[in-house]
Amino acid sequence: MRRARNPSVTIVPSDITPEARYLSRRTLLAGGLGLAALQAVGRFSRPAMADTAAAGPGALTFTRNAAFSPAEAPNSYRDITTYNNYYEFGTDKSDPAENAQGLRIRPWSVTVGGEAEVTGSFTIEDILKPHPLEERVYRLRCVEAWSMVVPWIGFPLGDLLKRFKPTSKAKFVEFKTLYDPKQMPGQRSSVLEWPYMEGLRIDEAMHPLAIMAVGLYGKALPNQNGAPMRLIVPWKYGFKGIKAIVGIKFTERMPRTAWAEAAPNEYGFYANVNPAVDHPRWSQASERRLGGGLFDSRHPTLPFNGYAAEVAGLYSGMDLRRYF
Ligand SMILES: Nc1nc2c(c(=O)[nH]1)N[C@H]1C(S)=C(S)[C@@H](COP(=O)(O)O)O[C@H]1N2
Ligand SMILES: [Mo]
């Protein structure tokens, strides 16, 4: 991998029209599936079509990965981009959409360090360049017991990490968000320790379900969703999905994470979605699927957020009540 040098842009405008693509999926769903799908389509076609991202500035070139499209309808672009957790921009769900618009995401660099052969500072262009983008529709389950379904655009995290040639001592990988209180007003208060930090065990990070996301609904990530690049680990609670990443470090020891520092009895390092382990202050057995308020609905929460078949093996022999 080359070091930071020129700021050439690698996200190219697309000639794909996401709206057309989503419209054809609507047809597909209505034709191919039963009542549930029809209801889902009803929800999906509500205000969602109007505010679905169109081709134009920020449109990405990608392929759709059909292996990752749940039967559930994606949430509307509006829900996904106006109901956010991003404490750097405030603690209300509507704060990030309001306060993150001025965040400068170019130029952007990412520092890679620790137990790896290839380390240094890289431009976001160099980080992203080799990775073909794909769309994956994933469930997102927040530890606060709400959930969404999001059509992310991204690439496997493991493909990125392998480029740095982690050494045999790399047992974990740590991620860090930008620290810039001038741009991130929430960092002027001590609601969390800044910068926001997250981490994964190296085998979790290399699991094919874990992705770096750079877009949603076919377009570059809005700032409030973590531009220019954020983590998505769909079998874990949403707080593992750290936004606006500027640092990646391979470590021998388990990294400190922002939420585990803040309240270790409430937010563990593993944070696997687990309906059998309640948060000390609320049940995790079910979740509120956002649907624009009126269309919110309650669903049972699934172990590993419904991805148990793929990932449960990562934790065989581990007591998931203790390592939560
Ligand atoms: N840097 C940073 N990353 C963050 C957060 C945050 O406050 N700061 N919130 C997390 C939480 S709690 C959730 S649920 C998801 C929400 O992602 P979304 O706003 O794109 O839905 O982002 C996660 N990533
Ligand atoms: Mo969350």
User: Could you tell me the pLDDT band of residue 22, with boundaries at 50, 70 and 90?
Assistant: very low
Where does ligand 1 bind, in terms of residues with CB under 6 Å? 84-88, 140, 142, 177, 196, 225-226, 238-239, 241-244
Atom 7, ligand 1: which residue's CA is nearest? 86
Atom 15, ligand 1: which residue's CA is nearest? 238
Ligand 1 site-directed mutation target among 82, 183, 187, 239, most atoms within 8 Å of CB: 239
Show Cβ contacts of residue 227 under 8 Å, excluding neighbours closer than 6 positions. Answer: 103, 105, 214, 220, 221, 243, 244
Domain boundaries defined on the chain: 25-313
Could you tell me which residue, 57 or 179, shows the higher pLDDT? Answer: 179
Question: Looking at the predicted structure, is the pLDDT value of residue 197 above 60?
Answer: yes
What is the DSSP secondary structure assignment for residue 215, as one 8-state letter?
E
Terminal C-alpha separation, the chain: 36
Question: Looking at the predicted structure, is the pLDDT value of residue 171 above 60?
Answer: yes
Mean pLDDT of the chain: 87
Q: How many Å apart are CA 250 and CA 143, to the nearest integer?
A: 26
Q: Of ligand 1's atoms, which has the minimum distance to the CA of residue 83?
A: 19
- 204-233 residue pLDDT tens: 999 999 999 999 999 999 999 999 999 999
What fold does the segment set 25-313 form as a domain? Sulfite Oxidase; Chain A, domain 2 (3.90.420)
Show Cβ contacts of residue 45 under 8 Å, excluding neighbours closer than 6 positions. Answer: 26
Residue (of 205, 249, 218, 228) closest to 125 by Cα position: 228
Ligand nearest to the Cα of 86, by number: 1
| Neighbour-count burial for 297-319, b at 16+ CB within 10 Å, e otherwise | eeeebbbbbbbeeebeebbeeee
| Neighbour-count burial for 259-277, b at 16+ CB within 10 Å, e otherwise | bbeeeeeebbbbbbbbbee
- CA-based radius of gyration for the chain: 19
Residue (of 233, 245, 231) closest to 209 by Cα position: 233
For ligand 2, the distance from its centroid to the CA atom of residue 147, given in whole angstroms, is 9
For ligand 2, the distance from its centroid to the CA atom of residue 256, given in whole angstroms, is 17
Residue (of 107, 218, 207, 211) closest to 155 by Cα position: 211
Mean pLDDT computed over 297-305: 98
Question: Looking at the predicted structure, is the pLDDT value of residue 176 above 50?
Answer: yes
Read off φ and ψ for residue 130, nearest 5 degrees. -75, -5
Query: What is the predicted pLDDT for the residue at 65?
Result: 96
Q: How many Å apart are CA 122 and CA 5, to the nearest integer?
A: 8
Say what percent of the chain tops pLDDT 90. Answer: 81
Least trusted range by pLDDT, from 44-48, 64-68, 135-139, 208-212 = 44-48
Query: What is the predicted pLDDT for the residue at 55?
Result: 67
Cβ count within 10 A of residue 205: 23
Ligand 1 site-directed mutation target among 243, 246, 257, most atoms within 8 Å of CB: 243
Question: Looking at the predicted structure, is the pLDDT value of residue 195 above 50?
Answer: yes
Tokens of 211: 């992705």
Tell me the pTM.
0.85
Could you tell me which residue, 71 or 175, shows the higher pLDDT? Answer: 175
For ligand 2, the distance from its centroid to the CA atom of residue 315, given in whole angstroms, is 22
Q: How many CA atoms lie within 13 A of 218 on its CB side?
A: 22
Cβ count within 10 A of residue 104: 10
Query: What is the predicted pLDDT for the residue at 241?
Result: 99
Q: Give the Å distances, CA to CA, from 190 to 91, 94, 258.
A: 12, 20, 11
